[in-house]
Amino acid sequence: MMLLLLTVTGFSSLRLSSSTPVTHVARYAASPRSVTMQHGGKGFGGGEATRDPPPTVYDPSDPKGKQQAIHKAESFAEYLAKRGGFSDSHKSGVCEPRSAAVSKVAPATAPASGSPYAELADAYFADIRRELALLMDNPSWDDGSLAPVLIRLAWHSSGTYDKASGTGGSNGAGMRFDAEASDCENAGLHTARAFLEPVKRKFPGISYSDLWVLAAYVGIEHTGGPSIAFRPGRVDWEGEHELLAGGWCNPMPRGGHGRLPGAEKYVAYDSADAAGRPSGWQKLCGHIRDEVFYRMGFGDREIVALLCGGHVYGRCHRGSSGYAGAWVEHPTRFSNEYATDMLEDEWRLVGHEDTWLDDMGAAELRPAAGNRQYVNKCPLGTGGDDANQMMLLSDMALAWDPDFRVHLEAFAADEAMLAREFGAAFKKLTELGCEGVLQPEVAAGGLAAAR
């Protein structure tokens, strides 16, 4: 068997055994690989939501429990009782906006200057921040934190934006409707939305689209990342017809609408180049640039900043995306570990059939059948003492492409710089397509001010 160990600091480190003279990537040629995801996608933007436990209370209007909070042995009433009490109005479980003129529900169209939604007091958003911070640490969820999956929710709701047509983006909260939610790249995110439902019920003055973004901001800051100033004003579509009017997800193509990234798109495993990289990896770089991030208006440095900051969070799951494992050792804490580990560790391409991972205590890194990913392990023993970590093909592209790599090296060398630039790029991502509705930044938006 030929072994491929790729150290991305130098592509020439190819280590071979003397047995079967077959390239490692050629092992997968017999298993046809389409360019679309087979198990629900995992593009970019933090951890996946995979659990779908039964709802705490049966609601005839919501039989699948998708809009209920999914809290272990906790009803909505118990949730409110445990977290209630910011003002007298909270005794009823609902926090009224501080301006008496504000409607309980944000308007479904862009608010005009001086509209009630624009008058929500800064203190109201501070209360929401406080409530969201209480939600973040959850021992029943992956690695004890909801932050990664909430970051992914905001990313995927925002990452549909198309600069040329002006469609998509976080405004409207379109993922509440099947036309957008059914995209395979959004697999499992109904649980992230459900975790936020009690907050929406308690603070009805905030729109869903604002809440999803603010939850991500709070999650980033709660886990040691940058504080991002919040601009409210996003408005929710009243019905799916408003989402479909944009045309970009009507009808939903098989394999998704293509606006969210595919981790292995255009990659083939029938051959490899001299550095051991599977054929088609340059086309994958083109997908990342042209079909995803350039389409939204990002440059190469912003792309790398978003991936370095976003993929430090969470993990992939076979049952959701088909990929498996965490990118970093500490997936609930902001750092530049993603960048440093990609450059410093040795990474090996594996598939579901690589059962030697089980013997090393790394069964969690074995992807579903049909998927491929890189791991920091080797059957010869390399990486046995390291935390179980993986990288997607789309991650490795940052080290393989020279124009991406220069930025990857910069962020690996300076975590503070990554924090600044990731914060700026994530704010830009979540505000795309919202220019006509966003209000001025909420004063003193950090968690410290909300406490």
Q: Quickly list DSSP for 282-307.
A: HHHHHIIIIIIIHHHT--HHHHHHHH
CB atoms under 10 Å from CB of 213, counted, come to 31
Contact 145, 139 (CB under 8 A): no
**Residues 201-217: what's their mean pLDDT?**
97
Q: Catalytic positions, please?
A: 156, 327
The DSSP output letter for 221 is H
Question: pLDDT, tens digit, for every residue of 276-311?
Answer: 899 999 999 999 999 999 999 999 999 999 999 999
What was the pLDDT predicted at 16?
26
Domain range for 114 is 76-254+424-450
| Residue 113, C-beta contacts closer than 8 angstroms, at least 6 positions apart | none
Asked if residue 449 has pLDDT above 50, the reply is no
CA distances from 77 to 34, 68, 90, 93, 264 (A): 47, 12, 12, 8, 44
Q: Following DSSP, what letter does each residue of 320-372 receive, concatenated?
A: TTS--EESSS-TTS--SHHHHHHHHSEEEEE-TT-THHHHTT-GGG-PPTT--
What was the pLDDT predicted at 78?
45
Q: How many domains does the chain have?
A: 1
**Residues 333-348: what's their mean pLDDT?**
96
Starting at the edge strand that comes first in sequence, how are the strands of the sheet with 373-375 ordered? 6-7, 346-350, 373-375, 390-391
Share of the chain above pLDDT 70, in %: 69
Cα–Cα distance measured from residue 97 to residue 440, given in angstroms and rounded to the nearest whole number: 17
Task: Report the range of poorest mean pLDDT among 97-101, 275-279, 411-415, 432-436.
Answer: 97-101
CB burial string 233-252: b at 16+ within 10 A, e below: bbbbbeebebbbebebbeeb
Asked if residue 117 has pLDDT above 80, the reply is no
Cα–Cα distance measured from residue 198 to residue 228, given in angstroms and rounded to the nearest whole number: 23
Contact 172, 242 (CB under 8 A): yes
Task: Report the range of poorest mean pLDDT among 99-113, 143-157, 421-435.
Answer: 99-113
What was the pLDDT predicted at 11?
33
Q: Let me know if residue 179 belongs to a domain.
A: yes
What was the pLDDT predicted at 218?
98
Tokens in use for 425? 């790029």
Q: Among all chains, which residue has been given the structure tokens 């995927």?
A: 156
Q: Let me know if residue 325 belongs to a domain.
A: no
Greater pLDDT, 398 or 75 = 398
Tokens in use for 142? 């992956």
Closest to 190 measured CA to CA, from 179, 201, 176, 209: 176
| Residue 352, C-beta contacts closer than 8 angstroms, at least 6 positions apart | 366, 367, 368, 369, 370, 371
Closest to 142 measured CA to CA, from 43, 40, 49, 39: 49
Question: pLDDT, tens digit, for every residue of 39-80?
Answer: 344 556 666 544 333 333 334 343 333 333 333 334 444 444
Q: Let me know if residue 338 belongs to a domain.
A: no
Asked if residue 396 has pLDDT above 70, the reply is yes
Closest to 334 measured CA to CA, from 127, 197, 136: 136
Residue 383 — pLDDT band, cuts 50, 70, 90? low
Contact 70, 49 (CB under 8 A): no
Closest to 219 measured CA to CA, from 69, 334, 80: 334
Contact 155, 287 (CB under 8 A): no
Q: Let me know if residue 392 belongs to a domain.
A: no
Task: Report the range of poorest mean pLDDT among 21-30, 94-103, 181-190, 363-372.
Answer: 21-30
Q: Let me know if residue 17 belongs to a domain.
A: no
For residue 347, the number of C-alpha atoms closer than 13 Å in the C-beta half-sphere is 32
Greater pLDDT, 20 or 324 = 324
Report the CATH number at residue 217: 1.10.520.10
Contact 170, 209 (CB under 8 A): yes
Q: Let me know if residue 163 belongs to a domain.
A: yes
Q: Let me know if residue 224 belongs to a domain.
A: yes
**Residues 353-362: what's their mean pLDDT?**
94
Average pLDDT of the residues of the chain:
78
What was the pLDDT predicted at 46?
64
CB atoms under 10 Å from CB of 383, counted, come to 20
Q: Among all chains, which residue has been given the structure tokens 């109005």?
A: 89
Asked if residue 263 has pLDDT above 90, the reply is no
Q: Let me know if residue 236 belongs to a domain.
A: yes
